[in-house]
Structure 1
Amino acid sequence: MVKKGSKEERDLVRILWDEKFAAMRAPASGGATKKPLPDVLAGNGEKYLAIEVKTTTKDRIYIDSPKIEGLCEFSSIFGAIPYVGIKFKYKKWRFLSPEDLFKTKNGNYRLDLDLALEKGLEINELLGKDKQVKF
């Protein structure tokens, strides 16, 4: 069975490679290990990114707090900048810092389309590029 979102993870890795960032999907993300691992790791020798990838056909998604805490823990140890990469259906990728996510009253996180459009970075902004990145 193919894990939901793996197509988007592969697509993001391809985009990052096209933009001269070495990138890979973490082979044990998603629960195969107790260690916190992001879905995608990328770097260009100057900037390192740890990305938790989410995809949805709706306008809102919820993320369990251990996922975000693990992303931040891994990033801190590794020296990467943590981001949640969200791909809403028919929309461009958006990337948000964990601190920009809405924390629910039960301690988890909510990310909706309006927040992604307001605070999320587009891929060219994430990578520090002046030009628009082609998909």
Structure 2
Amino acid sequence: MSSKSKGTKAERELLHLFWAKEWATIRSAGSGSMKYPGPDLIASNKARVLAIECKSTKKNKQYLEEYDIKQLKDFCDIFGAEPWFAVRFSRKDWLFLSIEDIEKTETGYVIDSKVAERRGLLIDELIKT
């Protein structure tokens, strides 16, 4: 399975999780390949709108480029959504992190699995706040 199809599968899995919690959710196909900023998922329950970038990895760290962060921020500023990164490390639960909870490095950003476990929110925690 290609990394693109694995990413699509992860996004769809998360989409179904939000719908199961009664949050209307859409997936933006090709979100990273357009000239306009756009998240992988947009989820809402009338009171809140979440713009979510999804990452799934078998490794203990997920690296992000400055571009990933900027795209999400830019979209949320225009759309009026909350920016979130959803990350799943090797068969564990999805964790949701705000941009402020993601570590800046010299060349970009990194989400460490241990840090994500401390700072990240599970889906039920995210949608109740």
Q: Deviations over 1:35-66 (max 9, x none)?
A: 11101111011110000000100100110111
Distance in 1, Cα, partners of 2:59 & 2:29: 27
Q: Residue in 2 aligned with 1:95?
A: 96
Equivalent residue number for residue 12 of structure 2:
10
Please identify runs of 4+ aligned residues in structure 1 that moved more than 6 A. none
Q: Which residue of 2 aligns with 1:122?
A: 122
Give the TM-score taking structure 2 as reference length: 0.93
Letter of the 1:29 partner, please give it. S
Query: Equivalent residues in 2 for 1:1-135 (5 A)?
Result: 3=4, 4-31=6-33, 33-106=34-107, 108-128=108-128
**Secondary structure of the structure 1 residue equivalent to 2:16:** helix
Unaligned runs of at least 5 residues, structure 1: 130-135
Counterpart residue number, 1:133: none
Q: Which amino acid aligns with 2:119?
A: K
Structure 2: unaligned runs, 5 residues or longer: none
Please state which structure has a larger fraction of its residues in helix: 2
Q: Deviations over 1:47-94 (max 9, x none)?
A: 100000001001001101111111011011111110000011121000
CA RMSD of aligned residues (A): 1.3
Across the two proteins, how many residue pairs are aligned to each other? 127
Partner of 1:132 in structure 2? Answer: none
State the identity %. Answer: 41
